[in-house]
Amino acid sequence: MMASFFDQFASPSFLGIPLIAVAIALPWVLFPTPPSRWINNRLITIQTWFINRFTNQLMMPLNVEGHKWALLLASLMVFLITINMLGLLPYTFTPTTQLSLNMGFAVPLWLATVIIGMRNQPTVALGHLLPEGTPIPLIPVLIIIETISLFIRPLALGVRLTANLTAGHLLIQLIATAVFVLLPMMPTVAILTAAVLFLLTLLEVAVAMIQAYVFVLLLSLYLQENV
């Protein structure tokens, strides 16, 4: 029984072909394409308003050099939100519950921010490894600690997204299983448990959006240190 709870996180395949590529490509098919008319419909208007607001909030602390990342970060935000939301539907697979996929997003983008910092302002980038006013005996220790914390950043990005989504999916499945088990024996308790399941589902919708936002926000903060 416990092994079946984790079967939902296994990458699906058809005739030996992994379907994770289909799950990753599906969100791009669902996005509405802006028409050539001057007046858009309500869906595209809401989508444009959301992307503009998010991009403005994300780019506000950055200088002009960081604004080159606006398209990449906004696209990543919409992509992660769509994948996370689609994963809440029944009989679907959530690619962002795979640590390998999240690390595939986190490591190259984090490495790009570090390379930009080392290329444009190497003195400032290396200065982050040693806080100002550090006592001389603590300098070697703090440099080692800051270096380790720098290399842990992409791991924290990937693990945070994976752990939050995985925990939410497991809780939903556990409580849903409890509802089906309790329904013939204790209908009142089963109804109360179903109400808790409904509230948890609403919470998971919020978590799916918040975790995508946090992922992109932390990347913008790493970029802010290096531009």
Output the pTM of the full model.
Answer: 0.83
- What integer pLDDT is reported at residue 157 of this predicted model? 92
Is the distance from CB of 227 to CB of 117 less than 8 angstroms? Answer: yes
In the DSSP assignment, the letter for residue 19 is -
- What integer pLDDT is reported at residue 185 of this predicted model? 87
- What integer pLDDT is reported at residue 34 of this predicted model? 65
Locate the DSSP E strands across the chain. Answer: 13-14, 17-18
Domain boundary assignment for the chain = 21-226
Start-to-end CA span in the chain (Å) = 51
Structure tokens at 210: 């918040």
Residue 84 to residue 96: CA distance in whole angstroms = 7
Q: What is the mean pLDDT of each run of 10 residues along the chain (227 residues)?
A: 61 72 76 70 80 85 83 89 87 84 92 89 80 80 88 92 90 89 88 92 92 92 85
- What integer pLDDT is reported at residue 160 of this predicted model? 92
- What integer pLDDT is reported at residue 49 of this predicted model? 85
- What integer pLDDT is reported at residue 5 of this predicted model? 65
Residue 134 to residue 128: CA distance in whole angstroms = 12
Residue 109 to residue 131: CA distance in whole angstroms = 25
- Dihedral sign for Cα atoms in the order 144, 146, 148, 151: negative
